[in-house]
Amino acid sequence: MARVASNPVGLHRFRPCFQVAQLPQHARTSLHFRNEHRRFPTVSCQQTPDPTETSTTEKSIVEPGSGNDSSSQATSSSRDSGPPKFPNKNTNKQVALVSTLAALALFLSGRLDFGVSLKDLSVAALPYEEALSNGKPTVVEFYADWCEVCKELAPDVYKVEQQYKGRVNFVLLNVDNTKWEQELDEFGVEGIPHFAFLDKKGNEEGNVVGRLPEKYLLENVDALARGEASIPHARVVGQFSSAEARKVHQVADPRSHG
């Protein structure tokens, strides 16, 4: 039996199944680029990497990261700066102290400007008889301790009184005091507070009744102080308390003008 010899031709026919076909130049360049790109992880895993390739690899690693230097520095600086600092106990104490002093100053200023009571005004007021005899113009206020409008206007009256102190007399007559029954009828007091404005001779030039802006009182008093023949607000009526609600009582002290 004849031995079957190997047929190189047959093998040649079978070889194209495993042989890579020749590629064009641009395709080979692309394939070479892909192989070089894939070589990056392979080189990093070699136990004895080539010095040239290692330096190239390291350079390729460092260069892309160079663009993030500023961000890394910002991150490190933010870490160094740490979280935002909150006020410590000393700062809180200082803030509390300043707030307390401000509140105290506000309270004191409020007491000076708005803490004046009717009692304070009545104590500082001149007796009615003395006011009529000292040759100065006079403002007579008819009031009552229970009159809410009188209480509200007390600070305004005090301001005007202090401004014209020594030039204009300020008298307060309590409508609850039976001593002033004649004056109530003389000035026609029906509502309080009732402000009567008298010239130097004791003649009434006009009156203002009830809750009104401070300027009404101020302008009338200013006209009296300057000796004007008339006052700008001679007959003005605002919200008032009725004098019919007065609580009549007799005051023992004859000098009392309350």
Q: Verify whether residue 147 is a known catalytic residue.
A: yes
Q: Is 147 left (phi over 0), alpha (psi -120 to 50) or beta?
A: beta
Q: How does pLDDT run across 188-230, given as a tens digit for each residue?
A: 999 999 999 999 999 999 999 999 999 999 999 999 999 999 9
Q: What is the structure's pLDDT at 87? A: 57
d(CA 155, CA 163) in angstroms, rounded, equals 12
Q: Which residue has the higher pLDDT, 244 or 149?
A: 149
- The answer to whether residue 106 sits within a structural domain is no
- The answer to whether residue 54 sits within a structural domain is no
Active-site position among 149, 150, 157, 217: 150
Number of structural domains found in the chain: 1
- The answer to whether residue 63 sits within a structural domain is no
CATH value at residue 196: 3.40.30.10
Q: For residue 223, what are the domain limits?
A: 137-244
Q: How does pLDDT run across 87-133, given as a tens digit for each residue?
A: 567 777 777 888 888 776 655 544 444 578 888 888 889 999 999 99
Listed in sequence order, the DSSP H helices in the chain are: 8-14, 25-45, 51-66, 69-81, 89-114, 118-124, 128-133, 148-163, 181-186, 214-225
Active-site position among 147, 192, 209, 243: 147
Q: How does pLDDT run across 125-172, given as a tens digit for each residue?
A: 999 999 999 999 999 999 999 999 999 999 999 999 999 999 999 999
- The answer to whether residue 213 sits within a structural domain is yes
- The answer to whether residue 212 sits within a structural domain is yes
- The answer to whether residue 118 sits within a structural domain is no
Q: Verify whether residue 45 is a known catalytic residue.
A: no
Q: What is the pTM of this model?
A: 0.55
